Amino acid sequence: MSAPVLLVVAHGSRDPRHAATVRALVRRVRLQRPGLRVETGFLDFNSPSVPEVLESLDAEGVRDVIALPLLLTRAFHAKSDIPAVLAQAPPRLRIRQAAVLGPSPLLRAALERRLYEAGLTPADKSSTGVVLASAGSSDPEAIAVIAEIAREWRHTGWCAVRPAFASASLPRTEDAVRELRELGVRRVAVAPYVIAPGFLPDRIDRGAAEADVLARVLGPAPEVARLLLRRYDESCAVGRVARVLALA
């Protein structure tokens, strides 16, 4: 039996940098696992759409698909939008929705990679406060996850870590930067907890104007690509267990 196709489900954006970054990440996933078929579908703004990809796969005779949300938290898109789109897929397709990417130690490693690329070193951790800047959500579960990531990250040696949000929740990035300054933190860095550029990541960038260091978005970091494959493998394992139980 052939391995399920991995369908990476991205949000989409009017900003062309978004789709370009998603495709760069997917290319890295393919490089890490040659032979695995990896497709990309967008919920909005970009092509191909998720329904277009699913129709095409069905027409080719593909039967097993793992749809992996390119999301860092389990909020509205993962709970509602994506299941609704997948429910409209051709009936011959067997589709499993994989877990969202976060939280994961691999994402924390990718965040630190971006901070080091921006000029910090591990020796700077004890004198640097970090703003963990996410897009934001009205979903309390997602907000709680970001806050917990910040608390856990603080215990790895950073002077302080504060969560911040570009929309829907507070504090904003600039407020978290200011708070760290008022606490007397010597150096303040902003780490965008987002996959790809776009409207809200640009708001994070503007909010980091008074910070000393601004990291890039996570994008095609190798740790993020590894995490996509880990979520794919986890979903495959669940599917195998389900088939065994069905035959028992």
Report residue 204 as tokens: 């994070």
Burial of 58 (0-12, 13-18, 19+ CB in 10 A): middle
Non-local CB neighbours of 234 within 8 Å, separated by 6+ positions: 98, 99
Mean pLDDT of the chain: 95
pLDDT at residue 246 is higher than 50: no
Question: In this predicted model, what pLDDT tens digit does every residue of 20-48 receive, in sequence order?
Answer: 999 999 999 999 999 999 999 999 999 99
The length of the chain is 248
Which residue in 194, 215, 161 sits closest to 70, CA to CA? Answer: 194
Which residue in 30, 21, 137 sits closest to 75, CA to CA? Answer: 137
Tell me if the bond preceding 103 is cis, omega within 30° of 0: yes
**pLDDT at res. 1:** 67
Report residue 190 as tokens: 């902003």
Q: What is the pTM of this model?
A: 0.95
Which residue in 75, 98, 74 sits closest to 86, CA to CA? Answer: 98
**What 8-state DSSP symbol labels residue 162?**
E
Question: In this predicted model, what pLDDT tens digit does every residue of 74-92 receive, in sequence order?
Answer: 987 889 999 999 999 999 9
**pLDDT at res. 242:** 55
Non-local CB neighbours of 109 within 8 Å, separated by 6+ positions: 223
DSSP conformation letters of 94-138:
EEEEPPPS-S-HHHHHHHHHHHHHTT--GGGGGGEEEEEEE---S
Report residue 40 as tokens: 């990309």
Residue spans of alpha helices (H) in the chain: 16-32, 50-60, 76, 82-87, 105-117, 140-154, 173-182, 199-207, 222-247
Which residue in 101, 106, 155, 105 sits closest to 130, CA to CA? Answer: 155
